[in-house]
Structure 1
Amino acid sequence: MFARVKDVALLLGRIGVAVVFFAHGLQKWDGGVSATATMFDHVGIPLPTVAAVFVIVLEVLGSVAFVAGFLLPLIAIGYAVDMAGALISVHAQNGLTGNGGYELVLVLGLAALALGFNGGRLSLDHVLFWRKREARIPAGELETV
């Protein structure tokens, strides 16, 4: 029973993180690549147009994949890079808390990493990749893998 609760909790965590990224991605999508690139250029992000396309695709399509549990480590690393860029270029100067602080980007980036490398059994990654591996490993050795 604990495994089922853990898997549901991991799914809910992925949904929560993905919803926030998706909402911010839609804001950038609505503004357009050019407006997002202009904002990125203004805050000093290198290759602003490339970064804008990367972030919009990651935050919109990556969020759908994150909820489904598909390519979780890849999406999680993308989210962490996205949040590291936001922290360094925009939020660090405002401190941890308060107006414009970096607490949200810090938590989002780290939570995405934690969930991306432990997505649980309610994920496409588990169905497509891990279930086959678990079938080949004897039950007693599964704990150490």
Structure 2
Amino acid sequence: MFARVKDVALLLGRIGVAVVFFAHGLHKWGSGVGATADFFGQVGVPLPTIAAVFVIILEVLGSIAFVAGFLLPLIAVGYVVDMAGALLSVHALNGLTGTGGYELVLVLGLAALALGFNGGRLSLDHVLFWRKRAARAAQVGELETV
């Protein structure tokens, strides 16, 4: 029973993190790549147009994949890069808490990292990759004991 509760908790965590990224991604998408790149350029992000395209795709499509549990480690690392950029270029000078503080980007990046490498059994990664790997490992274990 504990395993089921854990898997549901991990799914809810993925949904919560992805909803925040998705909302920010939709805002950037609505503003357009040009406006997002202009802002990135103003705050000192290198290659602002490439960064804007990367962040919009990551935050919109990556969030859908994160909820589904597909390519979790890859999306999680992307989220960490996204949040590290936001922290260093926009939020660091504002301190941890308060207006413009970096507490949200810090928590989002680290939560995404934790969930990305432990997505639980209610994920496509588990169904497509881990369940098959566990079955193969079990077969090898049975052959070794004979």
TM-score, structure 1 normalization: 0.95
Offset of 1:131 from its aligned partner? 0.2
Deviations 1:48-107 (A, max 9, x none): 000000000000000000000000000000000000000000000000000000000000
Structure 2 residue runs without a partner (length 5+): 142-146
Correspondence for 1:55: 55
Offset of 1:38 from its aligned partner? 0.2
Correspondence for 1:38: 38
Offset of 1:138 from its aligned partner? 3.3
Correspondence for 1:27: 27
Write the distance in 2 (CA, Å) between the matches of 1:65 and 1:51. Answer: 20
The one-letter amino acid of 2:61's match is L
Root-mean-square deviation over aligned CA pairs: 1.1
Correspondence for 1:120: 120
Write the distance in 2 (CA, Å) between the matches of 1:10 and 1:93. Answer: 32
Structure 1 residue runs without a partner (length 5+): none
The one-letter amino acid of 1:135's match is A
The alignment covers a number of residue pairs equal to 140
Identity of aligned residues (%): 84
Write the distance in 1 (CA, Å) between the matches of 2:81 and 2:136. Answer: 34
Q: Aligned pair 1:2/2:16, yes or no?
A: no
- Structure 1 residue runs of 4 or more that deviate by more than 3 Å after TM superposition: none
Write the distance in 1 (CA, Å) between the matches of 2:138 and 2:131. Answer: 13
Of structures 1 and 2, the larger Rg is shown by: 2
Write the distance in 1 (CA, Å) between the matches of 2:32 and 2:89. Answer: 20
Q: Using the TM superposition, name which of 128-137 and 40-49 deviates more.
A: 128-137
